[in-house]
């Protein structure tokens, strides 16, 4: 009886961790979308060269920060999935890591959305 309870608690804990990572990924995804839309608005505005230079430096820092957090989160998810034999999540996560390394924003978003779907399916 006690062993069955421990197994159920383990499944609950894994689902909680997956839910936390889903929330974190959604936050990073929204940061990426927000950053992209503000970049598009800035490019449409005629501004001085010095402002553009400062903005580009800040944009690179923001992109770098988001990318680092995203890769860290993806590696945590991959470890969790591999450790608990969640093959569907591990496969989608590996694809997302590969795509994120290529630095293609549209492909990144698609890969992350596919990963989120797989993770959501796992906890439902």
> Using CA atoms, how far apart are residues 115 and 24, in angstroms rounded to an integer?
13
pLDDT of the residue at 41:
47
> Which of the 8 DSSP states describes residue 45?
S
pTM recorded for the entire structure: 0.72
DSSP run (H or E) holding 1: none
> Using CA atoms, how far apart are residues 50 and 53, in angstroms rounded to an integer?
5
Contact 111, 100 (CB under 8 A): yes
> Using CA atoms, how far apart are residues 81 and 71, in angstroms rounded to an integer?
15
The dotted CATH code for 2-123 is 1.20.120
Give every residue of the chain whose pLDDT is below 70, as ranges.
1-9, 32-62
pLDDT of the residue at 2:
55
Contact 43, 55 (CB under 8 A): no
pLDDT of the residue at 93:
95
| Helices 49-83 and 87-102, axial angle in degrees (round to 10) | 160
């Amino acid at each position: 009886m006690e062993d069955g309870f421990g197994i159920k608690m383990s499944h609950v804990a894994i689902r909680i961790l997956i839910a936390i990572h889903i929330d974190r990924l959604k936050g990073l995804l929204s940061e990426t979308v927000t950053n992209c839309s503000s970049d598009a608005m800035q490019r449409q505005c005629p501004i001085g060269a010095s402002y553009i230079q400062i903005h580009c430096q800040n944009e690179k820092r923001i992109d770098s920060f988001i990318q680092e957090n995203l890769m860290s989160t993806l590696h945590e998810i991959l470890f969790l999935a591999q450790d608990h034999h969640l093959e569907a999540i591990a496969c989608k996560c590996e694809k997302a890591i590969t795509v994120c390394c290529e630095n293609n924003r549209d492909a990144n978003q698609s890969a992350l959305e596919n990963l989120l779907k797989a993770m959501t399916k796992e906890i439902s």
